[in-house]
Chains A and B, each alone.
Chain A
Amino acid sequence: KAGVTQTPRYLIKTRGQQVTLSCSPISGHRSVSWYQQTPGQGLQFLFEYFSETQRNKGNFPGRFSGRQFSNSRSEMNVSTLELGDSALYLCASSLMASGREQFFGPGTRLTVL
């Protein structure tokens, strides 16, 4: 069974731009969660989608948004990029909503210049 895939793997943007990251979950998984990983703050939860509905949301500004499609694929968008948004963005899928066993993709490394 194919794992979680994320595209693109690497991205360089400049301040003020916006970016869209994509995640394809494991087949059959309906829950997709997004995390931001930085050396200073560790793994921080952004949001979770289950059956196209946002179930949980972390403590991030409204510049961070996401959505899920009917095929469970998910996208997250960051508008008006700031230097501090540079991070590894990880997507994880699970069978159940708020699942304890989440399957992570390799992440998208975003660098904001």
Chain B
Amino acid sequence: GESVGLHLPTLSVQEGDNSIINCAYSNSASDYFIWYKQESGKGPQFIIDIRSNMDKRQGQRVTVLLNKTVKHLSLQIAATQPGDSAVYFCAETKAGTALIFGKGTTLSVSS
């Protein structure tokens, strides 16, 4: 079946740097793409989503970019902080169907 995957399993950055987490998806029929963050010992937490007819959406310190031509999704975190250390998952969904998650990227922020 089709699934959402990530380019890199781990990413290490310095505090204050900008982080970019990438994701490649295969289902061009998906309506929404979503980013979740999972801290150690906790369940995933919704960060931001983007509709398939958009190419950019900004939140607080985060920006999601969608490139449908190459089926690529990215999450940019500005001024990364130690509290941003977590596993980041991209997910996709089509109306009425379940979320399909990618395998995750572990972001480590050192100060």
Contact = CB atoms under 8 A, between A and B. Distances in A.
Interface in B83-99: 89, 93, 95-99
A29 B104 CA distance: 27
A75 interface: no
A62 interface: no
Contacts of A55: 96
A100 B99 contact: yes
Interface stretch (B20-28, B40-48, B56-64, B72-80): B40-48
Nearest to A105: B43
Contacts of B32: 100
B41 to A, nearest CB: 7
B95 A90 contact: no
Contacts of A4: 43
Contacts, number: 58
B102 A90 contact: no
A70 interface: no
Interface of A is mostly: strand
A45 B44 contact: no
A107 B43 contact: yes
B36 to A, nearest CB: 8
Contact of A97 (B34, B42, B96): B96
A107 B42 CA distance: 7
A91 B96 CA distance: 18
Closest 9 CB pairs of A and B: A104-B43, A43-B101, A42-B103, A45-B98, A101-B46, A56-B98, A104-B44, A100-B49, A90-B43
Interface of A: 4, 33, 35, 42-45, 48, 55-56, 58-59, 90, 92, 97-98, 100-107
